[in-house]
Amino acid sequence: MNELKRDLGIWAAVSIVIGTVIGSGIFRVPQAMTQSAGSVEMVFAVWIVGGILTMAGALTYAELASMLPGAGGEYVYLTEAYGPVWGFLYGWTQMWVAKSGSIATLATAFFEYSGNFFPELERVFFQIPLPLGDHGAPLNVSYGQIFAIVVILLLALVNYFGVKAGGNLQVVVTIIKVALIAFVIIAGILHGNTAESHAPVAIPTTAGFFAALVAALWAYDGWNNVGMVASEVKDPKRNLPRALIGGSLAVMVIYLLANIAYFMVLSPETVAGHKLVAAEMMRRIQGQTGANWVSIAAMISIFAALNGSILTGARVPYAMARDGIFFRSVAQVHPRFRTPGVSILAMSAWSAILVLSGRYDQLYTYVIFASWILYAMATASVIVLRRKRPDLPRPYRTLGYPVVPVLFVATAILLEVFTLKQSPRESIAGIVLILLGLPFYFYWKKRPTIASTGSERRLD
């Protein structure tokens, strides 16, 4: 049977971490965080706490990824620690909602920023005369949605023709976007003497802190994606920990510097009142030209995150299919390009359908609660596996164990309590949505397992 090929070097792995994490959040999240946190000091406290939690997750996943460098990331860790049903529930969620919804969201954000230069993208292209729109109205499809779908499918083709092609593209666009973000940061810091009053916009509260932390963690989300392509990373025992830790640390530094630049030019009230904070900052400094540069930086940033999401996300359904608990065709590896071609096309096609439907935001809201349960379990699996599988080789051992993974899990539990309290109906609906996959799991579980070898072996 054809196997995936280890064609991703250290720079590609680091670029997957940085490029997938830094999408549109750095440009849009500060508004929501400032509204919730209330003051500049609290905003930076939230960014630092979010960064520490991200590092705690990265340090823990570094041990898991170097110990179990197979395709699928959390799917592999959950399967090994708790059994195949937990890995399946994670993979099911990623395929149909979480990762596909993220891809749809990024592609839509890409066309929205493109609309600054091509306003006609907002126009309705055609209408589907079925009650699929809001409140049972016909579904309008804009030129921008078609554009977003084309971008998804083009990136799917790039990654279909080889993981090296996708990895090289990720390195190039990540370098460009970090350079553009650095330009925005430097411009803000150099013009810091134009800053307005820094009076708080609201009195900081515990609820406000957690609401801001949820927004920050959304901006930090994606650091774990490199584990999904672990079976295609060269020298994974060394490069995966380096990519996870180094990439996460770089993201934290970039986010803090960007926010320093924002608040050196803009007041908290201004930040809280503008959806596109970076664009407003550059408009103050360089007029509309500066705002246009931010739009270009945002488009490249989102493009890199989109490519990284397609590159990594498709490995999860592939890993499930190889273990016999998903559609068999998804387990196919292209004999020439050595990529999970069917899985890439399937994930991308479903993401395109979500773009067309416009329902990805609602779906993603539903599964946030359940997804964080699985993330917490994946992090806790480092403790479980030290007891359950002490025989497994551990080229890297979590720094600060067991405090670091416990810190991440404890915070995840607090966030779950907060989310359940704030959105009980959506949280419960999300769990039900994920559990709907169980009948499919038991059906697929009864079938003969596809033979596989090496790092792609069945783990149960």
Q: Which domain covers residue 33, as residue numbers?
A: 10-447
Q: Encoding tokens for residue 277?
A: 């904070």
CB 139 within 8 A of CB 133: yes
Radius of gyration of the chain (CA): 21
Report how far residue 65's alpha carbon sits from residue 87's, in angstroms, rounded to the nearest whole number: 15
Q: Give CA separation, 399 vs 65, 78, 180, 431, in Å.
A: 14, 21, 33, 33
User: Domain holding 136: CATH number?
Assistant: 1.20.1740.10
Cα(361)–Cα(91) distance, integer angstroms: 19
Instruction: Residue 205: count other Cβ atoms within 10 Å of its Cβ.
Output: 13
Find the helix or strand (DSSP H, E) in which 168 lies.
helix 163-190
Q: What are phi and psi of 453, to 5 degrees?
A: -135, 170
Query: Whole-model pTM?
Result: 0.89
In a domain, 456, yes or no: no
Residue 184 lies in a domain: yes
Quote the pLDDT of residue 198. 64
Q: What are phi and psi of 297, to 5 degrees?
A: -60, -40
Q: How many CB atoms lie within 10 A of CB 172?
A: 14
The two structure tokens encoding residue 80: 């090994």
CB-neighbour burial class of residue 335 (10 A; exposed 0-12, middle 13-18, buried 19+): exposed
Cα–Cα distance between 80 and 384 in angstroms, integer? 10
| 161 located within any domain | yes
- Within-domain flag for 459: no
Q: Hey, which residues does 126 pair with through a beta bridge? A: 141
pLDDT tens track, the chain, 460 positions: 678 899 999 999 999 999 999 988 888 889 989 999 988 999 999 999 999 999 999 999 999 999 999 999 999 999 999 999 999 999 999 999 889 988 998 999 898 888 888 889 889 888 888 777 776 788 888 999 999 999 999 999 999 999 999 999 999 999 999 999 999 999 999 987 655 556 667 677 888 888 888 889 888 988 999 999 999 999 999 999 999 999 999 999 999 999 999 999 999 999 999 888 999 999 999 898 998 999 899 999 999 999 999 999 999 999 999 999 999 999 999 999 999 999 999 999 999 999 988 766 666 667 778 888 888 999 999 999 999 999 999 999 999 999 999 999 998 898 888 888 888 888 888 888 889 999 999 999 987 655 443 344 433 3
Angle value at C-alpha 446, between 440 and 450, nearest 5 degrees: 100
The 10 Å Cβ neighbour count of residue 417 is 11
Burial class, 453, CB count within 10 angstroms (exposed 0-12 / middle 13-18 / buried 19+): exposed
d(CA 334, CA 2): 7
User: What are the Cα distances from residue 120, in Å, to 6, 115, 150, 365, 441?
Assistant: 43, 7, 16, 29, 45
pLDDT at position 306 is: 95
pLDDT score at 1: 61
Backbone angles phi, psi at 127, to 5 degrees: -125, 135
Would residue 5 count as lying in a domain? no
Is there a domain that residue 4 lies in?
A: no
Alpha carbons 161 and 445: distance in angstroms, whole number: 31
| CB-based contacts of 122, cutoff 8 Å, min separation 6 | 115, 142, 143, 144
- pLDDT score, position 196: 56
Give the pLDDT confidence score for residue 441 in this predicted structure: 96
Domain for residue 155, yes or no? Answer: yes
Rounded Cα distance, 336 and 332, in Å: 12
Please give the pLDDT value at position 449.
56
Structurally, the chain folds into a number of domains equal to: 1
Question: In this structure, is residue 457 part of a structural domain?
Answer: no
